[in-house]
Amino acid sequence: MPIEITMPRLSDTMEEGTLLHWHKQVGDVVSSGDVLADIETDKATMELQSFDDGIFSEILVQEGEKVEVGKVIALLSEEVESSDSQASPPNSSSPSQQEEHTGMTISPVARRLADEYGVDIRTIQGSGPSGRVIKRDILQVVDTTKETSAAAATTKPAELLQPIVSEPEVVATSQPIVPVGDWRENRSEPLSNMRQVIAKRLVESKQTIPHYQVTMSFDMDPLLDMRKTLNKQLAPSGVKLSVNDFLVRCCALAMSEHPAFNASFGGDCIYYHGPVNVGIAIALPEEKGGGLVVGSIRDADQKSLRAISQESARLGNKARDKGLSVEEMSDTTFTISNLGMFGVEHFTAIINPPNSAILAVGAAVEKPVVRDGELVVGHELSATLSLDHRVIDGAMAARYLKTLKDLIENPAALLV
């Protein structure tokens, strides 16, 4: 077998070489160490020496030709020893990965906090260099939102939003009938912070709490009569009791009697609250972004109608004006949502965790009723409880409504 003479690598960087001159002719006898050829490398002109003895039998690369290292350039006949094997050097360096860089207008931790608190960073003017949104900016928004809305409710479940979906006073009233501009175009608007919280929390409530509803109607005439009387008497002192104020008191008193309605589901326990704090849903004006918050009337069972009324009015005004503080929104144990003033007769509400129940109140409507054997026009109000079945069973709900009915229909007890 002929011995292959290959283009040698004669320097550490040599990839190919030029055969300048053959020192041997075909047929010459070659001894190990003999110079076979001159090779021009990238660095110098070098001698190619034979490693073996033999007869120079064939020239495969002519003088002047440039060939890559490892290519056979001549053959040596004889059986002495073969030169072989041209393993290619291992080369497995992977290209380094370039990380992407994007312009930084928000600090990383601010971005993370915004995500956590559901803050829309597009609405924020950053206070860092070149308007970079920084941690402080996010925390300020969170603090402000806590005062004006329930946006910061993530850490305090009691601050959760009341689940009414309706947007009163808005639909169809302020918009012209005739389409103008892009009114009819499909469009998307980013969620406000409050809207994001509402979306998140109510989905959570509806998905995790086994809701069911129980509805009852109440004869409102005795209560409306008493309200009329009382409001006349209280007019000089500027107090005007609303139907809702009565309902707050009724619900609170009924809760003292039915502790399950003043309780929360605690996973492996039911947590019974001491204070009876009744939440009232307050719709916010559209010009301020809409949405709603729940104001907390603390110790409602201990408060007189007058006190409840004053507190309720104060919370409503403040919520619509400059926003409620966290204190004013927290720790409710039951919520009342009233759409009666909009003429709604009946609806259901989504529980405001960690409450176990919410009462959806419609309007007191005139109805033919039989009273003392005679058909007369009376006022009837329908209210629907949404309940957490993990805490309150149907019969319990019925008994609570019965107590509520007794109170509403015999309102003198409310004055005691």
Partner 1 sequence: MDKIETEQNMASTELPHVQLGKAPLPESPILLGWLRQMLLIREFEVRTMQAYQNRLIGGFCHVYIGQEAVAVGSIAAVNPDDPIVLAYRCHGHALARGMDPKYCMAEMFGRIGGCAKGKGGSMHMFDAPHHLYGGHGIVGAQTPLGAGLAFATKYEDEVLHDGKSQHVTLCYLGDGAINQGAFYEAMNLAGLFNLPVIFILENNRYSMGTAIERGTTMASELHTKSAAHGINHAIVDGKDVVSMYQSFKSIADWCREESRPFFVEAQTYRYKGHSMSDPRKYRTREEEAREEGSDCIDRLEKFLCDEHDLTTDGIKQLTRQVKTQVREAVDWAKNSPETPMDELYKDVYVDHWGPFTGTSKPEMLQGEDE
Partner 2 sequence: MSERIIEFRDALCEAMSEEMRDDQKVFLLGEEVAQYNGAYKISKGMLDEFGPRRVIDTPISESGFSGMAIGAAMRGLRPIVEFMSWSFSLVAADPILNNAAKMLYMSGGQFGCPIVFRGNDGAGGQLGSTHSWCVESLYANVPGLKMAIPYDAYDAKGMLKTAIRDDNPVFFLESERLLSTTGHVPQEDYTVPFGQAFVRRQGTDCTLISFGRPLHFCFEAAEELAKEGIDCEIIDGRTIRPLDIDTMVKSVKKTNACVVVDQSWSFASIGSEVASQIHRYCFDDLDNFVHRVHSDDVPTPYASNLEQAYLPNTRKICEAVRSATYNT
Other C-beta atoms closer than 10 Å to the C-beta of 339 total 20
Give, as ranges, the residues between 73 and 112 that touch partner 2 (CB under 8 A). Answer: 107-112
DSSP letter string over 210-244?
A: -EEEEEEEEE-HHHHHHHHHHHHHHGGGT----HH
Let me know if 389 is a catalytic residue.
yes
For residue 399, the one-letter residue type is R
- In Å, how far are 112, 223, 235 from 229, measured between CA atoms? 57, 10, 10
102 binds, among partner 2, partner 1, none (CB under 5 to 8 A by kind): none
Q: How far is the CB of 269 from partner 1 (least distance, A)?
A: 47
Verify binding: residue 143, partner 2, rule CB under 8 A: no
The single residue among 32, 45, 82, 127 that binds partner 2, judged by CB under 8 A, is: 127
Q: How far is the CB of 31 from partner 1 (least distance, A)?
A: 12
DSSP 209: S
- Could you tell me which residues come within 8 angstroms of residue 11 by beta carbon, excluding any fewer than 6 positions away? 41, 42, 43, 44
The single residue among 60, 134, 191, 313 that binds partner 2, judged by CB under 8 A, is: 134
Angle at 31 between CA 27 and CA 36, to 5 degrees: 65
Verify binding: residue 157, partner 1, rule CB under 8 A: no
Verify binding: residue 90, partner 1, rule CB under 8 A: yes
Verify binding: residue 47, partner 1, rule CB under 8 A: yes
Nearer to partner 2, 103 or 181 (CB): 103
- From 71-79, 131-139, 258-266, 314-322, span contacting partner 2 (CB under 8 A): 131-139
Phi, psi of 338 (to 5 degrees): -120, 115
Q: Check: CB of residue 168 under 8 Å from CB of residue 290.
A: no
Radius of gyration of the chain (CA): 44
- From 79-87, 129-137, 291-299, 342-350, span contacting partner 1 (CB under 8 A): 79-87
Coil, helix or strand at residue 95: coil
88 binds, among partner 2, partner 1, none (CB under 5 to 8 A by kind): partner 1
| Number of residues lying near partner 1 (CB under 8 A) | 27
Paired tokens of 189: 């608007």
Verify binding: residue 9, partner 1, rule CB under 8 A: yes
The single residue among 25, 62, 85, 96 that binds partner 1, judged by CB under 8 A, is: 85
The single residue among 2, 128, 168, 222 that binds partner 2, judged by CB under 8 A, is: 128
Angle at 199 between CA 195 and CA 201, to 5 degrees: 115
- Could you tell me which residues come within 8 angstroms of residue 232 by beta carbon, excluding any fewer than 6 positions away? none
Q: How far is the CB of 156 from partner 2 (least distance, A)?
A: 23
Nearer to partner 1, 79 or 116 (CB): 79
Verify binding: residue 11, partner 1, rule CB under 8 A: yes
Q: Which residue blocks in 267-355 are alpha helix, DSSP H? A: 305-321, 326-329
Cα of first residue to Cα of last residue in the chain, in angstroms, is 121
Verify binding: residue 136, partner 2, rule CB under 8 A: yes
Give, as ranges, the residues between 349 and 408 that touch partner 1 (CB under 8 A). Answer: none
Query: Which spans of this chain sit near partner 2 (rule: CB under 8 A)?
Result: 107-112, 127-128, 134-136
Which residues would be at the binding site for partner 1 (CB under 8 A)?
Answer: 6, 8-12, 14, 32, 41, 43-47, 49, 51, 69-70, 81, 83-90
Q: Which residues are catalytic?
A: 389
